[in-house]
Structure 1
Amino acid sequence: MSSLDAAVAAARALDQPLAGRRALVTGGSRGLGREIAIAFAAAGADVAVASRKKDACEELAEELASATGRRVTAHAAHVGDWDRLDPLLDEVEQELGPLDVLVNNAGMAPLYSSLEEVSEALFDKVFAVNVRGPFRLMAAAGKRMVARGGGAILNISSMGSQRPTAGDLPYTAAKSALNTLTAGFAQEYGPSVRVNTILAGPFATDISKAWDPEAVARMAQDWPAKRVGEPHEIVGAALYLCGPHATYTTGALLAVDGGRLAAP
């Protein structure tokens, strides 16, 4: 195949960049995870949707399979439960086949009145969901991917990991740790498995309902985009990092934050 033919084939692949791939999306029944699961199925992937609430996963799986014609499975899993994660990977492989893409999207950012009021239980729970679970999934799924010849892992972190505040410190510390895991796993499982992270900014998901809209609007005036993001605006970056056009991208932290990190 000539270089021109290869370029044309690559451009055509943009219509279905994940055709024939099998992807697991944690926290996939709502928010950014839901948008990523929808985009992946529309891009040709078979998708396993996992979250704590299986009924929500089943509802999305049924609707998404009907809309796209892809195989979409539902799985109940709390990513903070270490012993649940290897069986989760086994379930996905039994129902869909060998995993090509893992998206660590599940996370939690609980509110608290002050740093001194943060309990050990809350702190441990935040790290279990945001760090410990993704670590185990990357370790186990990455090893399987290497044995089969390759794959892609995508972590959903936060721009807060670069701009921590007292109001979200356990969460942003955990996401900073996830950024570090991205670099380490990219080294460990490269070159066949790529590991990247999206630093997500403020998005209008169900979590944003707890925000003070006037305060957010005031803050947003300092950002280049001057607004919060819509959930579907995450999918371009996710498709790129997990697709065939990012084969030289690994260990990267890509901000999708409306320019929040570029602001003073």
Structure 2
Amino acid sequence: MGKPLSGKVSVVTGGSRGLGREMVRAFAAAGSDVVIASRKLDACEELAREVRDATGQRALAVACNVGDWAQCDTLADAAYAEFGRVDVLVNNAGMSLLYPRLDQVSEAMFDKVIATNLKGPFRLSALIGARMAAGGGGSIVNISSIEAAHPEPLAVPYAAAKAGLEALTGGFAHTYGPSVRVNTIRCGPFDTDIAKAWPAEMRTELARHTALGRLGAPADIVGAALFFASDASAYCTGATLALDGGFR
């Protein structure tokens, strides 16, 4: 099949673990140089070394809390300083906070969830999308959640942020089209590092609600991510793909 991302440069936030790590590995194997961003620089550097050794692609590790506007600026500047271009941006970094009741969600908790899941992707998409549109174009992939469409009582701020992220997808697709495509992958329950803390009964219940009868494996993100990142999706923009095992 060749390497569908040969000669490309991809930025993946939340790239050092979970779904982000799988996408970084897959993009590098597909021929892309990669910028690996997360709050933990050591983890990014470790993955960058693995990528260089395994694929021969260039890999840049950048510490970035995407909830911080200035750090988003720094990430974009670092990517362009190192590679001179960005062809693919994956807004994958996300987080939610536990709370006993909605009336006990503090302003600081709410702001942190919105900043990581919505403000950061907005800033990065604006910065990098504008430069993509002024250059050779590119692809932006937003990683959302089934919570955007089916918010649970204990994840309402997170669900609101992810719904906002999906709204950004359409807005940016029209703003930076036709040369920049912007799409969303709406993920169901995935068996990532975070899921290790889920009680066994919760894992069983989530799996039971999928048509495929299981949680997603991290590698299950790869096909959809490569589709949106590559020319395979050349006529697809402003779209949301449900990657949830048939969850209901």
What's the TM-score, normalizing by structure 1? Answer: 0.92
Distance 1:127 1:163 in 2: 17
The answer to whether the Cα contact below 8 Å between 1:22 and 1:97 also exists between their aligned partners in 2 is no
- Using the TM superposition, give the Cα deviation of residue 58 of structure 1 relative to its aligned residue in structure 2, in angstroms: 0.3
Runs of 4+ in 1 over 6 A off after TM superposition: none
Map of 1:63 onto structure 2:
50
- Using the TM superposition, give the Cα deviation of residue 218 of structure 1 relative to its aligned residue in structure 2, in angstroms: 2.8
Map of 2:110 onto structure 1:
123
Map of 1:5 onto structure 2:
none
Map of 1:39 onto structure 2:
26
The answer to whether the Cα contact below 8 Å between 2:189 and 2:206 also exists between their aligned partners in 1 is no
In 2 relative to 1, CA 219–29 (structure 1 residues): closer, same or farther, beyond 3 Å? closer
Amino acid at match of 2:202: A
Map of 1:74 onto structure 2:
61
Map of 2:9 onto structure 1:
22
Distance 1:49 1:218 in 2: 33
- Using the TM superposition, give the Cα deviation of residue 223 of structure 1 relative to its aligned residue in structure 2, in angstroms: 1.7
109-118 or 64-73: which moved more?
Answer: 109-118
Map of 1:228 onto structure 2:
215
Does residue 88 in structure 1 map to residue 75 in structure 2?
A: yes
- Using the TM superposition, give the Cα deviation of residue 159 of structure 1 relative to its aligned residue in structure 2, in angstroms: 1.1
1:97-123 alpha-carbon deviations (Å, 9 max, x no partner): 211110000010111111111110000
- Using the TM superposition, give the Cα deviation of residue 241 of structure 1 relative to its aligned residue in structure 2, in angstroms: 0.5
The answer to whether the Cα contact below 8 Å between 2:35 and 2:79 also exists between their aligned partners in 1 is yes
SS in 2 for 1:90: helix
Matching residue within 192, 197, 206 for 2:184: 197
Map of 1:171 onto structure 2:
158
Does residue 210 in structure 1 map to residue 197 in structure 2?
A: yes
Structure 1, gaps ≥5 residues long: 1-13
SS in 1 for 2:214: coil
1:214-239 alpha-carbon deviations (Å, 9 max, x no partner): 23213422320111010000010000
Structure 2, gaps ≥5 residues long: none
- Using the TM superposition, give the Cα deviation of residue 167 of structure 1 relative to its aligned residue in structure 2, in angstroms: 1.0
Matching residue within 217, 226, 235 for 1:248: 235
Map of 2:143 onto structure 1:
156
Aligned-pair identity (%): 56
Superposed CA RMSD in Å reads: 0.9
Map of 2:91 onto structure 1:
104
1:35-63 alpha-carbon deviations (Å, 9 max, x no partner): 00000000000000000111110000001
Q: Which has the larger radius of gyration?
A: 1
